[in-house]
Amino acid sequence: MDKIEFYFKVLARYDLYVQLANTKASNQITFLSSILVAITALVGWGITFTNMDILGCMIIVLYGVFLYCCGEWYMHCMNVIQPNRKRSKSDSNSDVKINVDELSTIFYSDVAKFKDLQSIKDKVEAKDEQSHLDDLINQVYIMASVTEKKFDDYQKIQPWLISAVVISIFILLLTCISKIN
């Protein structure tokens, strides 16, 4: 196996990890939607505005906190799913004007910056095998960073998930107690 084939396999493996993180975050958003609908229905069923008591007030306050946790949960999920458009690990500004000679022939954001199909073909033809390998290794480096960031961002979802579930259990208990009374 030559080096180029090896690094393409590494890129493919990183791509699978990125897809895994995105799928896990998407599944979290689906769960979030389900629990949000269920708790909203439960709160609507459990509160009577004509006879507001301490339990009703507690349910409303907990529901507000629950909505905040769900909002944070959603935003953290979206941080995982959002695409990476950085050209390098240290790139902080994607709006900087880039010289055409510096563009990668692999990275999608760079490929889209070529003015037409012929200009990218010319760039590919002008490169030797070592230049292609260097470009590929740079993309492997960037994808390693992207993969690490996605999984770091995914870890930040868990506290919001746990908070929302615990609060929803309290809302369920208070709603049941309110209805029994």
| Residue ranges of domains in the chain | 103-180
- The pLDDT tens digits of the residues spanning 99-138 come to 666 778 877 778 888 888 888 888 888 888 888 888 889 8
The average pLDDT across 165-171 equals 96
In sequence order, which residues have a C-beta less than 8 Å from that of residue 113 and are 6 or more positions away? Answer: 98, 100, 103
| CA-wise closest residue to 119 among 98, 138, 100 | 100
pLDDT at 56: 86
> Helices 3-46 & 158-180, crossing angle to 10 degrees?
20
| CA-wise closest residue to 164 among 62, 58, 61 | 62
pLDDT at 96 over 60: no
pLDDT at 95 over 60: no
CA distance 94 to 109: 10
pLDDT at 160 over 70: yes
Please tell me which residue, 124 or 162, carries the higher pLDDT value: 162
Q: What share of the chain is helix, strand, coil (3-state, %, to 5)?
A: 80, 0, 20
CA distance 43 to 95: 46
Whole-number average pLDDT of the chain:
87
pLDDT at 159 over 80: yes
* pTM for the predicted model, two decimal places: 0.79
The average pLDDT across 6-34 equals 94
